[in-house]
A = this chain, B = another copy of it.
Amino acid sequence: QGTRDHTPAQAALRDRLLSTVVSCFKRHGAAAIDTPVLELRETLLGKYGEESKLIYELQDQGGELLALRYDLTVPFARYLAMNKITNMKRYHVAKVYRRDNPATTRGRYREFYQCDFDIAGQFDPMIPDAECLKIVHEILSDLQLGDFVIKVNDRRILNGVFAVCGVPESEFIPACSTVDKLDKMPWEEVRSEMVGEKGLSPEAADRIGEYVQLHGGLDVIEQLLQDPKLSQNKVAKEGLGDMKLLFEYLSLFGITGKISFDLSLARGLDYYTGVIFEAVLLQQENEHVEEPVSVGSVAGGGRYDGLVGMFDPKGRKVPCVGVSIGIERIFSILEQRLEASGEKLRTTETQVLVATPQKHMLAARLKLISELWDAGIKAEMLYKKDPKLLKQLQYCEDTGIPLAAIVGEQELADRVVKLRDVATRKEVRV
């Protein structure tokens, strides 16, 4: 349940999608790494907040207690700490596992691919962070998914908001995960969860509400930098200063048009410490509706400066920022689009079918196809001793093989092969 096989057509489409993503990661100079699907249970514990209950655990069959990885970020942090690496730009495309309620039509699975790009190391502020946003922008543009917006916020700004609204520090993370629901439910419901479940005072919740419903660009950053309460809060001020710098870099990249500083963005995971972001596709419901409708998040990420330190015996920190592309949702969209277009994706790359118009030509076909393979040519033949020519040509048409190399008695006698263009039916002897 919540997993799926990929048919050849799906595998071909996924391959096309993943190569677009990986090309972008390589364009930005990332190296590949790979880590096991299995991690020690203790590695994953306490990294995912409320979501930890969704981790798949392996049965204790003797030996270590294992679990399936939940994302690629925690294994990356474990890798950096284990190998004492303080500086690395890597990408990783692999499957992760979550015991969530699957919603396969919307691209939510229990086994799904993540495509992660991360930059680890101590650098000048916001330069790697800006690159992560540039990458999201490039990938969503390359994939031609239509209009999108990348929401940006900073955990330090959120924490500052919570502080000046009177939330005790121990409640910051739960408050965060409640705010994060603002993209799925109206403020009224989020407010009542804050007051009811998280035990905030109604006044604190209302004060939070005034902040987290703000969104915009540099203007909102400037407004908050002038905010009498928030500008007095050290972490918020730091976060706002960096946000301003980030916008400066994004404007040099020419992508601020798709960026929205959005205080309602909180992201569920515990480990973020700075900039956070999430890209959503916008869909014009119909041309007369002015406000575009969000169809869900297709990329997300942020800064997590404390995670690597959790795996280091001496707690040495390696600052990191990264992005994860939500490939499954994008795949669902591309799949629906392909279906609608009626385009048929080839699932093989075969260039030529070795065929014959006569019986008793198996030996000649086997010799010819062997020569083709040895010359690096992608070739197939039907696995029949004496196939009908029509069946062979039909196979070419069904699978999109452009050429047939035909060998019969005459060709054998003349020491030639008849090369037939399947589409035009033109033939040449070679």
> Which A residues form the contact surface with B (CB < 8 A)?
1, 3-8, 10-12, 14-15, 26-38, 56-61, 63-64, 68, 79, 82-83, 89-90, 95, 97, 99, 110-111, 119, 121, 123-124, 127-128, 130-131, 134, 138, 249, 252-254, 347-350, 362-363, 366-367, 370, 373-374, 376-380, 383-385
Task: State the oligomeric state as a number of copies.
Answer: 2
Among B5, B14, B37, B363, the residue within 8 A (CB) of A252 is B363
13 A-B pairs with CB atoms under 8 Å apart are: A3-B38, A4-B36, A8-B90, A11-B32, A11-B34, A26-B349, A26-B378, A29-B380, A123-B383, A124-B385, A127-B362, A127-B384, A252-B363
Q: Given A58-B59, A138-B373: A5 and B253 within 8 A (CB)? A: no
Tell me if A119 and B383 are in contact (CB < 8 A).
yes
CB-based contact B37/A8 at 8 Å? no
- Report the nearest B residue to A39, measured CB to CB: B3
Nearest-neighbour CB distance to chain B for A241, whole angstroms, equals 15
For the complex, what is the distance from the CA of A253 to the CA of B8, rounded to whole Å? 28
Q: Are A111 and B36 in contact (CB under 8 A)?
A: yes
Q: How far is the CA of A57 from the CA of B134 in the complex (A)?
A: 42
- Pick the residue among B11, B370, B379 that contacts A253 (CB under 8 A): B370
Assuming the A-B contacts A3-B38, A124-B384, A348-B26, are A373 and B134 also in contact, with contact meaning beta carbons closer than 8 angstroms in the complex?
yes
Q: Is the CB of A37 within 8 A of B37?
A: yes
CB within 8 Å for A366 and B252 given contacts A29-B379, A378-B26 = yes
Query: A253-B366, A370-B254 in contact; A14/B34 too (CB < 8 A)?
Result: yes
The CA of A350 and the CA of B5, in the complex, are separated in Å by 35
Please pick, from B5, B10, B37, B374, the residue contacting A79 in the complex, using a CB distance under 8 A: B5
Smallest beta-carbon distance A80→chain B, Å: 10
| Bound: A119/B348 CA distance, A | 14
**Hey, which chain B residues are within 8 Å of A99, CB to CB?**
61, 63
Residues of B within 8 A of A124 (CB): 383-385
**Residue in chain B with minimal CB distance to A10:** B34
By the criterion CB–CB under 8 Å, are A5 and B35 in contact? Answer: yes
By a CB distance below 8 angstroms, the chain B residues around A12 are 31-32
| A127 and B367 contact, CB distance less than 8 A | no
Of B27, B31, B121, B377, which one neighbours A8 at CB under 8 angstroms? B31
Asked if A378 contacts B27 (CB within 8 A), the reply is yes
Please tell me if the beta carbons of B33 and A111 are within 8 angstroms of each other in the complex: no
How far is A5 from B374 in the complex, measured between Cα atoms in Å? 35
| A37 in complex: contacting residue of B10, B82, B95, B348, CB < 8 Å | B95
Partner of A370, one of B1, B34, B134, B362: B134
The distance from the CB of A76 to the nearest CB of chain B, in whole angstroms, is 10
Task: Determine whether the beta carbon of B31 is less than 8 Å from that of A348.
Answer: yes
Tell me, in angstroms, the Cα distance from A138 to B375 when the chains sit together. Answer: 11
Residues of B within 8 A of A376 (CB): 27
CA distance A31 to B30 in the complex (A): 29
A6, B29: Cβ atoms under 8 Å? no
Taking CB atoms, residues of chain B closer than 8 Å to A36 are 3-5, 111
Q: Nearest Cβ distance between residue A376 and chain B, in whole angstroms?
A: 7
Question: Is the pair A28, B380 in contact by a Cβ cutoff of 8 Å?
Answer: yes
14 new A-B pairs (CB below 8 Å) besides A3-B36, A14-B34, A131-B383? A5-B36, A6-B33, A12-B31, A27-B379, A29-B379, A31-B347, A36-B111, A37-B95, A38-B110, A63-B99, A124-B383, A124-B385, A128-B383, A253-B366
